[in-house]
Amino acid sequence: MCGKSEVPMKQLLGDIPTRFIAITILLALLVLAFLTVRILLVPVVAASFVAYLFEPGVVSLQRRGVQRGPAFLLLLTTSVTAIVVLLGLTSSWLKFESIERISTEDIAVRLDSQSGELENWLNKRVPLAQSIDLSKRLAARAGHFAETFFEQLPSLMTAFAVNLLLVPFIAYFMVRDGRRLRRRIVSMVPNRYFEMTLIVWHRIDQQIGGYLRGRLIECMLVGVTQVVVMGITSLFVPQPQILLISVVCGITNLVPYVGPLMGAGFGGLLYLGAQGVPMAAVYGLIVATLIAHLIDNIAIAPVVLSQNVGLHPLTVALTLVIGGELLGILGLLIAVPVASSMKVIAQEVYANYQLQNRPS
Amino acid sequence: MKPDGIWGNIFRYGPRKEPLAEVLQNIPVFQDLSPKELRILEGVVHLRTYQPGETVFAETEPGAGMYVIRYGRVDVVLKHQSENELVLAELEEGDFFGEMALLGDGSRSATAVAREKSELIGFFHPDLLEILELHPVMGAKITLGLAKTLADRLRFTNMQVRDVWEIRGPNEAVIG
């Protein structure tokens, strides 16, 4: 279009159009800005999870002539109502008010005594272990972690409450305008890269959509399993706050491998710090979590996760380390979808390269 | 169709653009669609503008779908920019090309180059899947239209092979 001014730029950059570079830089700046304003990341990522989860239902209603926005609102309202009714029916059984006060000192003291017993048992059998001084180290670390965690708990709860309102709001617009926005973005891609962008976007959408929906359904089922198993355990040992712990276990299950440990860790700390909750409750919780995890691995995951992202376990582990290091818990949650998207892009670029360099 | 005379110059600045639905209705792939379905299709397709000499897609590249020429001209060539370049077809307003890629994975068998400034309507594999998901009846009509078009092309190719067979004999026809 402006031939004279483009000549030196073209000499400098070869075949790469300047518009493509401008868009790449703009996208990079956007990602950077997004990473800087982390406060936006949590609700946006959570909203995209919700949007993906509701997508099949929205499409089903859309086929019956309902617009995407109202379809999402209808499904959301139905789901929330169903959850509230279910909670109302099971509130007495789920023991909402079982824990009255949590003290971080209690956690340190009880952990110290428990790990002390464990250390004595270990020292009798492995004399070398005496030099490790397990109980003091463990108690100090856990005490410090619990102190930080419970100090931050009020602000975490506030953020959770804000997100509870913000997430459906963002998800609504993602569902309503997502496809239009995608078309607008794709329309800005230069002709040379247009078809490839369209294919890559479609594949990522299919793969991530399938994976996330599978994981989210799996997490919900794990949460329900945890409720049931803890409910059965509560017949033998006290298991307060079944619902809270099960919800946390369900959410943390989104993180591959370490998720169940994180959920059980949260419940364990809650029980250790709660007044009047015996140590048997912690052991009961560990057994219940193990059983729920086993049921997940044997019965839930193989059925629900038919759409696998096809990443090697080592790649998943490394991705989780990087995600956790960069963005904390949020990084752990989005690490696998992001890695999977990068894999799709790499596969497409490589396939494109191979086709173009194929001997004719 | 270029405007002529002073009024044409005053009231019409660019090339004449047919309404999208009108262009699409004349394409065999979409000819069974109702006016309502054509309006839905209008919202799904992509409009792309190409400068003279710009490549629409290149031979061996992975293809995503078909293009309809809204205005302008496009050449379909083999071995583009080589000594053995062969122009397979010179397409103009209302013509369409690349429909085989609508069916899924596969590489382009020729290169398409805009001969003059052209506006193309792109309809791609993900768009077809979206229509099949949201409007199954409309998707079935498009798929059937596509099958008919490909069958016509295959029938035409068969006739050409038979002509070559009859002229050159079976051995030469296969080798040549």
Q: What is the CATH number of domain B18-175?
A: 2.60.120.10
Rounded to 10 deg, the angle between the A38-63 and B125-134 helix axes is: 60
Match 């059937």 to its residue by tokens: B144
Low-confidence ranges of chain B (pLDDT < 50): 1-4, 176
Ramachandran category for residue B81: left, alpha or beta (phi over 0 → left; psi -120 to 50 → alpha): left
CB B94 within 8 A of CB B119: no
Query: Bigger pLDDT: A224 or A299?
Result: A224
Confidence (pLDDT) at A2: 39
Nearest to B61 among A59, A183, A355 (CB): A355
Nearest to A355 among B47, B64, B107 (CB): B107
In Å, how far is A352's CA from the nearest CA of chain B? 6
Is the pLDDT reported for residue A194 higher than 60?
A: yes
Q: Which residues 183-242 of chain A have a CB within 8 Å of chain B?
A: 183, 186-187, 191-192, 194-196, 198-199, 201-202
CB B113 within 8 A of CB B53: yes
Question: Residues A141, A144, A150, A153: what is their CA dihedral angle, to the nearest 10 degrees?
Answer: -90
Q: For A324-334, what is the mean pLDDT? A: 79
Q: For A57-61, what is the mean pLDDT? A: 93
Q: Are strands B111-114 and B73-78 parallel, antiparallel or unpaired?
A: antiparallel
pLDDT in tens, B16-47: 566 888 889 989 999 999 999 999 999 899 99
Q: For A142-171, what is the mean pLDDT? A: 79
